[in-house]
Structure 1
Amino acid sequence: MGEEESRGRDTRERLLDAAGEIFAQRGFRAATVREISRRAGANVAAVNYYFGDKERLYAAVVKYTFSKAVEKYPPTLGLENSSSPVERLKAFIRSFLFRILDEGRPAWHGQLMMQEVAQPTAALDQLVDEAIRPLSNRLMGIVRDLLGADSNDEKVRLCTMSIIGQCVYFGHARSVITRLFSQTFGPVEIEHLADHVTCFSFAAMKGISSTGNPVSMG
Structure 2
Amino acid sequence: MTDDTRLGRRPRGRRDDGAATRLQILEVAGEVFAEKGVDRATGKEIAERAKANSAAVNYYYGGIDELYGEVLVEAHRRLVAYDVLAAVAKGEGRPEDKLRRLLGVVVKAIMGPKGSSWALRVLSREILAPSAMFHVLRERELLPKKQLLAGLVAEMLGLPADHPAVSRSCISIAAPFVVLLIGDRQVVTQMFPGLDRDEQAVDAMVEHLIRFSLGGIAAIAAAQPQG
Name whichever of 102-111 and 43-52 sits farther off: 102-111
Pairs within 5 Å for 1:3-42 = 4-42=14-52
8 Å contact from structure 2 (residues 89, 99) kept in 1: no
Unpaired runs of 5+ residues, structure 1, are 214-218
What is the letter of the counterpart of residue 194 of structure 1? V
State yes or no: 1:194 paired with 2:206: yes
Output the aligned Cα RMSD: 2.6
Residue among 39, 45, 63 paired with 2:55: 45
Q: 1:151 to 1:63 in 2, by over 3 A?
A: closer
Equivalent residue for 2:74, pick from 64, 75, 89: 64
- Give the direction of change, closer, same or farther, for the CA distance of 1:28–1:186 in structure 2 (3 Å limit): same
Q: Is the 8 A contact 1:101 1:185 kept in 2?
A: yes
Aligned CA distance change for structure 1 residues 45 and 95 (closer, same or farther; 3 Å)? same
Q: TM-score, normalised by structure 1?
A: 0.86
Query: Taking structure 1 as reference, are residues 163 and 13 closer, same or farther at Cα in structure 2, changes over 3 Å only?
Result: same
Cα pair distance change 1:165/1:79, threshold 3 Å: closer
Q: 1:71 to 1:206 in 2, by over 3 A?
A: closer
The aligned residue for residue 54 of structure 1 is 64
TM-score of the two chains, using structure 2 as the length reference = 0.82
In 2, Cα distance between the equivalents of 1:205 and 1:72?
Answer: 23
* Structure 1 equivalent of residue 117 of structure 2: 107
Greater shift, 46-55 or 147-156, is seen at 147-156
Aligned runs of 1:69-148 on 2, under 5 Å?
A: 69-71=79-81, 74-76=84-86, 78=88, 81-104=91-114, 107-148=117-158
Mapped contact 1:37–1:47 kept (Cα < 8 A)? yes
SS in 1 for 2:220: coil
Q: Give the percent of matched residue pairs that are identical in Structure 1 and Structure 2.
A: 25
| 1:66 Cα offset (Å) | 1.4
* C-alpha contact (below 8 Å) 1:73/1:95 kept by paired residues: no
| Residues 40/106 of structure 1: CA separation in 2 closer, same or farther (3 Å cut) | farther
Which letter does structure 1 place at the counterpart of 2:40?
A: A
Residue equivalent to 1:216: none
Q: Does 192-201 or 170-179 show the bigger shift?
A: 170-179
* Counterpart AA for 1:119: A
Gapped regions of structure 2 (runs ≥ 5): 1-11
Deviations 1:75-127 (A, max 9, x none): 15657622111111112212222332232465321111011111111221121
8 Å CA contact retained: 2:95, 2:152: yes
Q: Distance in 2 between matches of 1:77 and 1:188?
A: 26
Question: Following the alignment from structure 2 to structure 1, what is the Cα–Cα distance between the partners of residues 199 and 221?
Answer: 35
Distance (Å, rounded) in 2 between the aligned partners of 1:151 and 1:65: 27
Name the counterpart of 1:185. Answer: 197
Secondary structure at the residue paired with 2:133? Answer: helix
Q: Which amino acid aligns with 2:217?
A: M
Matches of 1:56 and 1:110, distance apart in 2: 19
